[in-house]
Chain A
Amino acid sequence: MVQTIHPPKAADHDASNNEYMLEVKGLRKAYAKKQALENVTFSLKPGTSFGFLGPNGAGKSTTMKILTGIVKADSGTAKLFGKDAASETDAVAKYIGYVPQDITLYEKLTAYQNLEFFGEAYGVKGKELKQRIHEVLAKTGLLERANEAVSTFSGGMKRRINIAAALLHRPKLLILDEPTVGIDPQSRNHIFEIIRELNREGVTIIYSTHYMEEVEALCDEIAIMDQGTVKAMGPLGQLLEQYGQKAIYLEVPGLTEPPQDPYIASSRKEGSGWLLETEQPSALMQRLLRQASQQAWDVKQLEIVRPSLESVFLKVTGTALRD
């Protein structure tokens, strides 16, 4: 069953409330005949690690491009510290570090030369720039490769320099658009550590991905996007509680049909056992234990299943998360 979830309304976040560093209201954007964004609204408090979760084409990148001033919205506003992202681009650029989905570096130049260019582009100069380059190279673990051409780097190293180039001006908001695409788990973990450290230092993070485990690992607030709209938004725990599938997993050899019980909303075969969805997992667990005793089941496994973000996504969008 698909439950229709309405995106949060602008009134949910008081625009005049200064506790929000970023306030996005009613963004709409269409490319040719395709509606890329439809009434996207959300606000962020400083220090948040905010995850945009959704399939390709959900509108995540368009939202980020509007925040950074690359794309102009057809209607709606995006304000960072009260500055309009569309018209006050220079003021907004001081606060934002943007890491695009693609590796956007000059491959023939060295890592140092790339950082030098982006640092100056963000207005950092002289000794401060040199110091910042040293710091971000150390943070990304590439200090020893600073004077080598980026073209000689592995995919993971390129991703790290791609992030480093957005950090030179000490941004208050770091926007990362799928920064781990196509890299090995070790490099991914390294990038996660960099992001967690930045967040601990007070940098607000907006992290876009279509990998649920990344959002679960990094973000304390999540917006689920699909087809240009925010389908659900809130802290991870709240979303899991509100939309997550509560279920019990039961494995009994020879049990060819799922047990019948009024507490079971639906059931399906999963592995060697049965996944039994319910709104009251504790009560159902007790009833199943009783039934097992009465019918002398040889129970191999009986456990309450932790709600997953995948089930939240399925519930709010009606579809599984596609790559």
Chain B
Amino acid sequence: MRSMIIKELRLIGKDKKSFFFLLLMPIIFIVMFGSVFNQGEGGASVTLRTIDQDQTAASKALIGQMKGIMDVEQLPADDVSGQLDKIKQGQFSAMLVIPSGFEQAMKSGKAADVKLYQDPSAQMEVAPIQAILGSISTQYREQKLTDLLIAKGESQAQAEAALASPIRIENVTASADKFSVIDQVVPGMTVMFVFFIMITMARRFFEEKKTGLLSRIRTTRIKPLHYLLGMWFPFVLTVIAQCVILFAFGHFVYGLALGDVAALAVIVVSLSIAGTGIGLALSFLVPGEGAAMVITQVISMGGAMLGGLWVPSYLLPKAVQTVGHFLPQFWAQHSLQDIIAHGAHLGDVWGAALILLTFGLAGLTVAMLRLPGFLRSAAN
């Protein structure tokens, strides 16, 4: 078996296609997703384009207040129709216009109107802007009531107590570490591309069969089971190396926190066994390399989508979340994120590790059952 392992590791080391799929592609994806979604320290921010036609102290105070919460991009005051065309063309989703007479209306006690133009097809982007503006509006109302109460002889403290909400919401973060997009992207892309090892595995097994090497090996003293394990083990090592390189890349380039390294190692090893175990089963079940490539892509991409590798699982529909629980990708991603972002340790992820190992052993069992037929087919 030792000879099989050394030989296979040497061949994998010379396989440029595998290097591309297993390392280069995930690094490109991590960089791409990281650049798109990880702008700024605090993650993605909301930008509101604003036209100030009033140009008064009150309008500037409103803009100043908004800038404290979100990014504000001020546009020329005379270009409302041009900017509206841009919304219609989908170039941005919303624009706030502070009309002339804003300050005057406020001073006279009338409602000071501002207009929020929006793209009806971009409600997900507009919703946080509406929420922020609603919050600012509430603050203005509270300030107005406070002024009224003080004018009627109440003290500042009495006025603030009268306006205090009966409900107080305290924000408490579940873990000490903050969660960034990189915490989603690095494990997500790592888990997704781990399953691409299945293409390499299937290709190697079919090559051995097609070239007659498998038949020749059968004339030596290598036993069928040793052949199977000798082919499998190098791929487990390859996936472990792949995960180590990708997590190291995330750590050194994006400052990804690795959490409990022992727990991380256990999940990485379990994931390697799961991915390569399924790869073994696939290699012995499909009729050819082409079919293996198609099925690998279905398993990798489908599993990535349903298992929450591209977007967090809780954002997916309930039914999809349920399906995700039957996929190894879900358990790998879930446990990796727990370790990286939520401070989980070995005791917290052993269940996920066990599930991943079960997937791997199931694949190995299928491969062992199919091995005699595979060997027979290689002889003809």
- A106 CA to B4 CA in the complex, in Å? 12
B213 to chain A: closest residue by CB: A104
A59 vs chain B, min Cβ distance (A): 14
CA distance A150 to B216 in the complex (A): 17
Q: Is the pair A100, B7 in contact by a Cβ cutoff of 8 Å?
A: no
Chain B positions 210 through 224: 1 when the CB is less than 8 Å from some CB of chain A, otherwise 0:
011101111111110
Query: Which chain B residues numbered 267 to 320 have a C-beta less than 8 Å away from chain A?
Result: none
Whether A120 contacts B3 by the Cβ 8 Å rule is yes
- Contacting A at CB under 8 A, from B321-380, are 379-380
B211 touching A104 by the CB < 8 A rule? Answer: yes
CB distance A96 to B7 under 8 Å?
no
Known: A65-B379, A106-B7, A108-B14. A118 touches B215 (CB 8 A): no
With known contacts A93-B220, A121-B221, A106–B212 Cβ distance under 8 A: no
* B178 within 8 Å of A (CB atoms): no
A98 / chain B contacts, CB cutoff of 8 Å: 216, 219
Set of chain B residues within 8 Å of A108, measured between Cβ atoms: 10-11, 14
The stretch among A67-75, A213-221, A241-249 that forms the contact with chain B is A67-75
* Interface residues contributed by chain B, number (CB under 8 Å): 22
Q: Is A122 an interface residue (CB 8 A)?
A: yes
Contacts of B211 on A, CB cut-off 8 Å? 102, 104
Give Cα A109 to B217, complex, Å.
16
CB of B6 within 8 Å of the partner chain = yes
Structural contact, A104 and B2, CB atoms closer than 8 A: no
CA–CA, A121 and B218, complex, Å? 10
Contact A106 B213 (CB under 8 A): yes
A4-31 CB contacts (< 8 Å) to partner B = 31
Indicate with 1 or 0, residue by residue over B197-229, a CB within 8 angstroms of chain A CB atoms. 000000000000001110111111111000000
Question: Quick check: A65 and B215 within 8 Å, CB to CB?
Answer: yes
CB neighbours (8 Å) of A122 from chain B are 220-221
A120 to B217, CA, bound (A): 11
B216: chain A residues within 8 A (beta carbon): 98, 100, 104
A197 at the interface (CB under 8 A from B): no
Pairwise interchain contact A100-B212, C-beta atoms closer than 8 A:
yes
A42 to chain B, nearest CB (A): 20
Pick the contact of B3: A69, A96, A117 (CB < 8 A).
A117
Whole-angstrom distance from the CB of A207 to the nearest CB of chain B? 17
Quote the shortest CB–CB distance from B376 to chain A (angstroms).
8
State whether A70 and B213 are in contact (beta carbons under 8 Å apart), knowing that A116-B3, A121-B221 are contacts in the complex: no
Write out, one digit per residue, whether chain A residues 69-103 have a CB within 8 A of any chain B CB (1) or not (0): 11100000000000000000110011010101110
CA distance A101 to B215 in the complex (A): 11
Number of A residues whose C-beta is below 8 Å from B?
29
Which residue in chain B gives the minimum CB-CB distance to A99?
B216
| B221 close to A94 (CB less than 8 A) | yes
With a cutoff of 8 Å between Cβ atoms, the chain B residues found around residue A93 in the complex are 219-221
Cα distance A98–B221 in the bound complex, in angstroms: 12
Shortest Cβ gap from B197 to chain A (Å): 18
> Which chain B residues (212-271) contact chain A, with CB distance < 8 Å?
212-213, 215-223
Task: Assess whether A113 is interfacial by the CB under 8 Å rule.
Answer: yes
CA distance A71 to B219 in the complex (A): 10
Note all chain A residues with C-beta closer than 8 A to B221. Answer: 90, 93-94, 121-123
Chain B residues lying within 8 Å of A118, measured Cβ to Cβ, are 220
Q: Contact check, B379 vs A109: say whether CB atoms are below 8 A apart.
A: no
Query: In the complex, which residues 138-185 of chain B have their Cβ closer than 8 Å to any Cβ of chain A?
Result: none
Output the least CB separation between A29 and chain B (Å): 11
A119 to B2, CA, bound (A): 12
Instruction: Using known A-B contacts A69-B218, A93-B220, determine if residue A117 contacts B212 with beta carbons closer than 8 Å.
Output: no
A68 partner residues in chain B, CB cutoff 8 A:
218-219
A residues in contact with B222, CB < 8 Å: 121
* Residues of B contacting A123 in the complex (Cβ-Cβ under 8 angstroms): 221
Residue of B nearest to A98 (CB): B219
By beta carbon, the residue of chain A nearest B380 is A31
Q: How far is the CA of A305 from the CA of B360 in the complex (A)?
A: 71
Per the 8 Å Cβ criterion, residues 275-299 of A in contact with B are none
Which chain A positions have C-beta within 8 A of B215?
65, 70, 100, 104
Q: Within 8 Å CB of A70, what residues of B?
A: 215, 218-219, 379
The minimal Cβ–Cβ distance linking B273 to chain A, given in whole angstroms, is 25
The residues of B that contact A89 with a CB separation of less than 8 Å are: 218
Q: Closest residue of chain A to B224, judged by CB?
A: A89
Distance between Cα atoms of A69 and B4 in the complex (Å): 20
Q: List 28 A-B contacts (CB under 8 A).
A: A31-B380, A65-B379, A68-B218, A70-B218, A70-B219, A71-B379, A89-B218, A90-B221, A90-B223, A96-B219, A98-B216, A100-B212, A101-B212, A102-B211, A104-B215, A104-B216, A105-B213, A106-B11, A106-B213, A109-B7, A109-B11, A116-B6, A117-B7, A120-B3, A121-B3, A121-B217, A121-B220, A123-B221
Q: List 7 extra interface pairs beyond A105-B213, A108-B14, A113-B7, CB under 8 A.
A: A69-B218, A70-B218, A98-B216, A100-B215, A117-B7, A121-B4, A121-B220
Using CB atoms and an 8 Å cutoff, list the residues of chain B in contact with chain A: 2-4, 6-7, 10-11, 14, 211-213, 215-223, 379-380
In order of increasing CB-CB distance, the 5 nearest A-B pairs are A120-B3, A121-B220, A98-B219, A68-B219, A104-B216
